[in-house]
Structure 1
């Protein structure tokens, strides 16, 4: 039987988003305040405005862009705290199940290439994926339909047969507009924040919740 492609986001899906929240919402304001001799409160206000101005753009995900924008070496700071990068619960269990059952596993992330590389090295996740793609190398953020069009040109796939799991609704909206057939979100991307109560896409409370979904789909295909 033909096995579907299962595409994963990285941060907030396979990895705990608490790390990124810590870097961008806690450590960067402190470093920015020190560097620019302003109060922590003022630092947070300035950074909030920066974040709002660039949210969901390709620049938003670029360490190089933010280093130039704020004057703090963002890649160096991320590496300084890399030991806080952790997998979300059941990530390995799900990936092992998919690999052992012949699914095609892809990683499609908005993390820039440098961030992707150190997180993969730290977690050992790379071995599970047939295709690993950063939006930086594609030239469009995943929120844009052009990301998916370019990905399809580089790695041929049938969108209707794909499963895609991502914690960001705007990214899922872009995938939906392109025609990805099976879309799922994450109920608790960050262990430091409460579980989400609402989402416009079905939410996985545990990553392994995807397994019965796939098994049910396979059963329906047998008798189709």
Structure 2
């Protein structure tokens, strides 16, 4: 599934890969419409009918992920509203074990996320995730989302890497397809990003897992080789 021996760098998505996507789905589909309805004196359903098509129209663009954009467009403090449900932020199953195994394997681990810096800071504060990886890059630093193949070239300016020895792990098929087009040698898809929803269908051309326990044995084997145990 993954050729660990050929790697020196592992790029990791955050939301839906390391962290439970339930937080984000609950916020955009439930909490934001409820608070928007209160603010503008609408019914919850009226708010959903107005907001969700507007949000979905930006899918795949940097605006989709940008809290500044949505705060201005909706005249609401999106980051503040996210903090209201911050107790829902949490790790996906087996993630901490996986990150620990990455550390002992000698591989460089870099979070490469489309998350805006403001909610990113909230999630890092809640999880302590920054201490478990070597670096974190938000696509907002580069002005384009991971879905754009040019993102991967620009990423070299922030965290240099070799395409032929890099793995990208993500729950987004469009992102993984973009990475492959940009020459990333290996990709791995996560099929169960939201703990409150069932898994998705597998991608026909990209190796897929439900949880990281499926790749932990092989990664730990590399770790034991690298440490001589």
Q: Same fold (TM over 0.5)?
A: yes
TM-aligned CA distance change 1:202 to 1:53, over 3 Å: same
Task: Select which of 162, 165, 168 maps to 2:172.
Answer: 168
Residues 86-134 of structure 1: per-residue CA shift (max 9 Å, x gap): 1001000000011012111010000011111121121011112222100
> Is 1:203 the counterpart of 2:208 in the alignment?
yes
Find the aligned partners of 1:159 and 1:5 in 2 and give their Cα distance.
Answer: 9
1:163-217 deviations in Å (ceiling 9; x for gaps) = 1100011111111110111111112000010112332322112113223454788
**Cα distance in structure 1, aligned partners of 2:131 and 2:116:** 19
Q: 2:74 aligns with which of 63, 70, 76?
A: 70
Q: Which 10-residue stretch deviates more, 53-62 or 37-46?
A: 37-46
Q: Is it true that 1:53 corresponds to 2:57 in the alignment?
A: yes
Is structure 2 residue 126 aligned with structure 1 residue 90?
Answer: no
Alpha-carbon offset, residue 6 of structure 1: 0.8
Q: 1:7 aligns with which of 8, 11, 16?
A: 11
Aligned to 2:227: none
1:108 aligned to which of 95, 109, 112:
112
Shift of 1:14: 0.2
Q: Unaligned regions of 5+ residues in structure 1, if any?
A: 219-224
Asked whether the equivalents of residues 3 and 102 of structure 1 are also in contact (C-alpha less than 8 Å), the reply is: no
More relative contact order, 1 or 2 (CA 8 Å, 6+ apart): 2
* TM-score, structure 1 normalization: 0.91
Instruction: Report the Cα distance in structure 2 between the residues aligned to 1:180 and 1:3, rounded to whole angstroms.
Output: 11
User: 1 CA distance for matches of 2:128 and 2:38?
Assistant: 35
Query: Residue in 1 aligned with 2:145?
Result: 141
Return the alpha-carbon distance in structure 1 between the equivalents of residues 202 and 7 of structure 2. 30
> Does the residue aligned with 1:7 lie in a helix, a strand or coil?
strand
Runs of 5+ in structure 2 lacking a partner? Answer: 224-229
Shift in Å, 1:2: 7.6
Match of 1:34 among 34, 38, 41: 38
The 1-side partners of 2:130 and 2:221 are apart by: 28
Cα deviation, residue 42, structure 1: 1.9
Q: TM-score, normalised by structure 2?
A: 0.89
| Count of aligned residue pairs for this structure pair | 218
Q: Which residue of 2 aligns with 1:184?
A: 188
Give SS of 1:54's match: coil
Q: Which residue of 2 aligns with 1:151?
A: 155
